[in-house]
Amino acid sequence: MTIKPTFTNGKLPHGGVSIVSSRIPPTALSRIQQTNSSADIIVALLNAAENSYSWRQKTSRIWSICPRCQTIFLGYRQNTPKCCSRECNGFYRGQEWARHAHKGRAAWTEVSRASCRTKMTGDKNPAWKGGLTYFKRKGKYADQPIKYVRCPSAFLSMARKDGYVMEHRLLVAQALGRPLTREECVHHLNHDATDNHLANLILFRNNAEHKRHEHGQAITPLWPPSLACPTLA
């Protein structure tokens, strides 16, 4: 198994091209190289030694195996190269291109984009928060952010352009069995915008009726029908 202490075509973390130097002393590097083990084990030993001899908690250097010539080489973790040299990289990319050449350039680009979307969408994205987001408000309701959730296809007319909808409006719409109109207003009985239980939600035909209800007038809500003229004590 050949070990290449440096990757001559490696990229620096902040741009530029340079040689990647290892933190492992030559004696320790030679001792690991003489280990009669598989390539995966040698790479694991090299990475462990790189971490132990690095002054950082987690080194920016990483050892890998070239998929073409099976050479063990060193590169930077931020943009780890797949191959040990430009020659191997060109051969590797040529093989990948040959697999999709019959589809044309547009199809190859689409394959790459589809692969990227698959890797970075949903729970595979590091910014994934479980399919929900919060809108922070100001003033006296700053401690009660509005919760947005992914909108089902049957209620997309209520959603924002990004496909998210207010959770309390979605719950009432699902209880009604139809999307809400823009004029219809959902009210929280306990004035807590974070409490989206159905028992805490009532629906008015418009915001004017909602405001009149807030001022103590006897307004019959649009939903639920069983709640006649609710007033606050």
Q: Is 28 exposed, middle or buried (0-12, 13-18, 19+ CB in 10 A)?
A: middle
Q: Is the pLDDT of residue 105 over 50?
A: yes
Q: Which of 11-20, 194-203, 219-228 has the lowest mean pLDDT?
A: 11-20
**Dist CA 35 CA 98 (whole Å):** 37
Percent of the chain whose predicted confidence (pLDDT) is above 90: 30
Averaged pLDDT for residues 40-53: 85
Does residue 203 or residue 118 have the better pLDDT? Answer: 203
Query: Which pLDDT belongs to residue 8?
Result: 43
**Alpha-carbon torsion angle 42, 43, 49, 51, nearest 10:** -160
pLDDT (tens digit per residue) in 168-185: 999 999 999 999 999 999
Please state, rounded to an integer, the average pLDDT across all residues of the chain: 78
Q: How confident is the model at residue 97 (pLDDT cuts 50, 70, 90)?
A: low
Q: Is the pLDDT of residue 161 over 80?
A: yes
**Dist CA 84 CA 62 (whole Å):** 12
Does residue 172 or residue 9 have the better pLDDT? Answer: 172
Q: How confident is the model at residue 38 (pLDDT cuts 50, 70, 90)?
A: confident
What global pTM score does this model have? 0.47
